[in-house]
């Protein structure tokens, strides 16, 4: 396997793949970046280890990059992932960063160029005759990252809103009744596969969404450390899953955001059951569960152009925008 050329050592860094043994030092680098950039999403050391190895398709020896200084301290990194389940479009997700004290030297440009080269190689290796793109997500307020992407020819393709809603006595969860024999039940493991298929159907018409494989679903959704089954619910019509919500606790974010929150990872209603009050009923159930466990707010994120009217739903239930993030892409 021929790998893309590494960034130049003239930048003062030596480049190599990230290994599991690097996780503690890598985490220190990520935390230094987070302290300055204040991202919406923060990472634990366990999260970083999962980024490397949790998934049979992952190859950190080829798909990761770390730049270390003369003392062996990590100062920059890059990560590229192409998920094998993509069918409508093959996506190369790129994530990386540069230590704040090492910025302004061209390191970010070199890392991004390496990510693009590796992303293109992985897309070609996927061998799928479908559209493909390289994707990078960036918080709106991190102007340096956005300028870097635009200078490299990436275009802004999507806005996302992170939304929040208080759960105090002044903002009770609404009472939403379901009709026609629909039943709201707590999520249980035996529902996992039915919920996964419902998710793939519900999001088939959403921009940037691809089917979730069994492995990816069990790894990153209902099997993740942050997942809270007691906050997650399913609406059944007989034995059919009509809708679902999956929620998590991202405790590493709470100190920076200043409150404890339940996060809605996924909310979906299959097309045949839409406009029957299922989504509000699911969200209300989660909000009550959040509050019962001492959460102060309910949080979620939404594509600002979501075709299902999700933004109207959330604002109607009392959610307000707290911050914005973006997706930049380059078609291959």
pLDDT of residue 1: 52
pLDDT of residue 240: 97
Annotate 1-13 with three-state secondary structure.
CCCCCCCCHHHCC
CA distance 185 to 198: 15
In 221-273, which residue ranges form alpha helices assigned H by DSSP?
A: 254-257
Q: Per the structure block, which two tokens stand in for 27? A: 């985490």
Question: 309: phi > 0 → left, psi -120 to 50 → alpha, else beta; which?
Answer: left
136-183, pLDDT tens digit by residue?
Answer: 999 999 999 999 999 999 999 999 999 999 999 999 999 999 988 999
Task: From 52, 14, 10, select the one nearest 30 (Cα to Cα).
Answer: 52
pTM of the predicted structure, to 2 decimals = 0.93
Q: Per the structure block, which two tokens stand in for 65? A: 């990059």
CA distance 218 to 208: 20
Residue 258 CB coordination number (10 Å)? 9
pLDDT of residue 206: 87
In sequence order, which residues have a C-beta less than 8 Å from that of residue 14 and are 6 or more positions away? 67, 68, 69
DSSP 2: P
CA distance 269 to 125: 34
CA distance 158 to 138: 10
* Contact assessment for residue 291 and residue 173, using Cβ atoms and an 8 Å cutoff: yes
Q: Per the structure block, which two tokens stand in for 53? A: 């190895």
191-224, pLDDT tens digit by residue?
Answer: 999 999 999 999 998 888 999 999 999 988 999 9
CA distance 46 to 26: 11
Task: From 117, 20, 14, select the one nearest 67 (Cα to Cα).
Answer: 14
User: Mean per-residue pLDDT for 107-121?
Assistant: 97
pLDDT interval class at 8 (50, 70, 90)? confident
Distances in Å between the Cα of 154 and the Cα atoms of 131, 141, 318, 328 are 16, 17, 35, 6
CA distance 231 to 289: 5
**Backbone φ and ψ of 291, nearest 5°:** -65, -40
């Amino acid at each position: 396997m021929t790998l893309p050329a590494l960034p130049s050592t003239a930048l003062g860094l030596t480049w190599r793949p990230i290994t599991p043994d690097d996780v503690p030092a890598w985490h220190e680098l990520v935390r230094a970046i987070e302290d300055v950039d204040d991202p919406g999403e923060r990472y634990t050391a366990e999260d970083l280890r999962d980024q490397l190895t949790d998934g049979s398709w992952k190859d950190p020896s080829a798909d990761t990059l770390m730049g270390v200084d003369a003392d062996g301290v990590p100062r920059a990194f890059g990560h590229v992932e192409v998920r094998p389940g993509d069918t409508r479009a093959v996506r190369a997700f790129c994530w990386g960063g540069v230590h704040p004290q090492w910025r302004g030297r061209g390191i970010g440009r070199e890392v991004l160029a390496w990510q693009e080269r590796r992303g293109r190689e992985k897309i070609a290796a996927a061998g799928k005759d479908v559209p493909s793109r390289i994707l990078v997500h960036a918080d709106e307020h991190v102007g340096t990252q956005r300028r870097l992407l635009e200078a490299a020819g990436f275009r802004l393709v999507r806005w996302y809103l992170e939304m929040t809603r208080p759960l105090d006595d002044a903002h009770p969860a609404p009472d939403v009744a379901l009709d026609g024999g629909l039943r709201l039940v707590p999520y249980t493991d035996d529902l996992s596969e039915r919920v996964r298929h419902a998710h793939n159907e519900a999001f088939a018409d959403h921009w940037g969404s691809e089917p979730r494989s069994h492995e990816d679903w069990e790894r990153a959704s209902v099997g993740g450390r942050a997942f809270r089954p007691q906050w997650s619910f399913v609406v059944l019509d007989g034995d059919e899953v009509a809708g679902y919500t999956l929620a998590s606790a991202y405790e590493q974010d709470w100190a920076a955001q200043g409150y404890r929150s339940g996060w809605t990872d996924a909310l979906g209603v299959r097309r045949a059951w839409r406009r029957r009050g299922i989504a509000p009923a699911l969200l209300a159930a989660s909000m009550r569960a959040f509050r019962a466990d001492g959460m102060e707010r309910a949080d979620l994120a939404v594509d600002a152009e979501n075709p299902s009217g999700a933004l109207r739903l959330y604002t109607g239930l009392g959610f307000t925008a707290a911050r914005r993030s973006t997706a930049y892409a380059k078609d291959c």
